Amino acid sequence: MHEEIKDILKRNNLSVTGSREKILSLFLSKAGALAHGDIEKKAGEKFDRVTVYRTLQTFVDKGIIHAIPTADNSIRYALCKDDCSGGHHHDHHIHFVCNHCGNTYCLDDVVTPEVRLPNGYTTSQIEVVVEGTCKACNK
Amino acid sequence: MHEEIKDILKRNNLSVTGSREKILSLFLSKAGALAHGDIEKKAGEKFDRVTVYRTLQTFVDKGIIHAIPTADNSIRYALCKDDCSGGHHHDHHIHFVCNHCGNTYCLDDVVTPEVRLPNGYTTSQIEVVVEGTCKACNK
DNA sequence: TAATATTTTGCAACAATGTTGCTTTTTTCC
DNA sequence: GGAAAAAAGCAACATTGTTGCAAAATATTA
Ligand SMILES: [Mn+2]
Ligand SMILES: [Mn+2]
Ligand SMILES: [Zn+2]
Ligand SMILES: [Zn+2]
C-alpha cells in the first residue's frame, strides 16, 4: 500500500512528502469522495491548512484526483482512473450523492449520457450528478 | 414590468420590499443565470450584503429561483418556471455554462436524460451541467 | 387613515473558507 | 554529503457566509 503511494507520486513527477503521502492514503482507503473539510480535518493535525490546499491543487493539476461539484457548494474530490495522468482529465462517468449517508461516489461504470443541445451550442464537457439513496443505505 | 414584480411577490405571499423588487428585476432583465457575486455587486450599493443572502434564500424557498451548481463552486441562480411555486422545485431541464462569455443558461427545452444506475441505487434528482460554447458565441 | 402587529432590514460581530508572500525546512539530484 | 530545487509552515489578509438583535418598513386591522 505504502509503495503504491510512492509509485503514484513518482509517476507524476512529484516529490514524496509527508502531506502528499497522507492525503493520498486518505483517498486510497476510502471508497467514495472526500470533501475538502474532511481532508483538512484528518490531515490538519499534522499539516498546515495551506499545505492541504496546495496539495489538493497539485493533485488536480496532475490528474491524480478530480473535483466533483455538488449542490451544497462544497467541493469534493475523488481519485481519477489511471488514464487521467498528465493534467488532462478524462472522467466520463457520473457522480452519485447519497442523501442518507452523505457519501459521494464515482459511478465509473455509468457513462455520461448523450445530451441533445439546441442548434448553435457546442459541448466540451458534461457533468452529471445524481442524488438519491446509495446501495448500502438501501439495504 | 414593475407590476409583474409585485405580482410575483404577492403570489408567493411575500411582502413587497425594495431589495426584493431590485433583485427580482435583475433576474427579469437578464436572460441567463446570475452569480451571487453579480447580484451582490448590482444590488449591494443600495442593500446590505446580509439582505442579499436572505432575499436569495427566500426566493429559493418559495420556488421563485433555483440554484445551479457549477464546477468553479460559485453558486448561480436563475428564475424558475411558474410551476415551481410553493417551495417545490420541478426543474427537469439542464444547464449550460459557456466557457467563452461565461454566461449560464437554463436550457428549458432540453429534458434531463435518463440515467441507468447500478442495482441498489435509487434516484431522487438528476443535475446535468453542460460546458461548451453558447449559441451567441458560436456565431 | 391611524394604530398595531408582523416582517424585513441593517449593523456588528463572528466563523469559515480561500489566497499570497516570504522564510525555513525537506527533498531531490549529483 | 552538499548544492539546488521544491515544498511546508507561518502570518497576514481577502472573501464568503452566518447569527442575534435593535431599528425600520410593511402589512393588517380597526
Ligand atoms: Mn469521479
Ligand atoms: Mn435552470
Ligand atoms: Zn448512502
Ligand atoms: Zn457564450
* Matching residue, cell 441498489: B120
> What is the per-residue pLDDT for B92?
82
DSSP tag of B84: G
For B19-71, how does the pLDDT look when each residue is reduced to its tens digit (9 = 90+)? 999 999 999 999 899 999 999 999 978 999 999 999 999 999 999 999 998 87
Residues around strand D, C-beta < 7 Å: A 14-15, 17-20, 46-48, 50-51, 54-55, 58, 73; B 15-18, 36-37, 49-50, 53-54, 75
* Sign of CA pseudo-dihedral B76, B79, B85, B89: negative
Residue B133 in this model has a pLDDT that exceeds 90: yes
A50 touches strand C (CB under 7 A): yes
> What is the per-residue pLDDT for B66?
93
Query: How big is the A-B interface in CB pairs under 8 Å?
Result: 119
For B85-103, how does the pLDDT look when each residue is reduced to its tens digit (9 = 90+)? 666 666 788 999 999 998 9
> What is the per-residue pLDDT for B44?
75
Residues present in chain A in total: 139
How far apart (Å, rounded) are the C-alpha atoms in residues A107 and B21? 43
A-chain CB neighbours of B106 within 8 Å are none
More reliable by pLDDT, B124 or A92:
B124
For A31-56, how does the pLDDT look when each residue is reduced to its tens digit (9 = 90+)? 889 999 999 999 878 999 999 999 99
Query: Quick count: other Cβ atoms within 10 Å of Cβ A99?
Result: 13
Strand order, beta sheet including B34-35? B34-35, B76-79, B65-68
Nearest ligand (C-alpha, residue B120)? 3
How do the domains of chain A map onto residue ranges? 2-132
Pick among 1.10.10.10, 1.10.3720.10, 1.20.1250.20, 3.30.460.80: CATH of B2-132: 1.10.10.10
A31-40 burial code (b ≥16 CB/10 A, e <16): ebbbbbeebb
How far apart (Å, rounded) are the C-alpha atoms in residues A59 and A66? 8
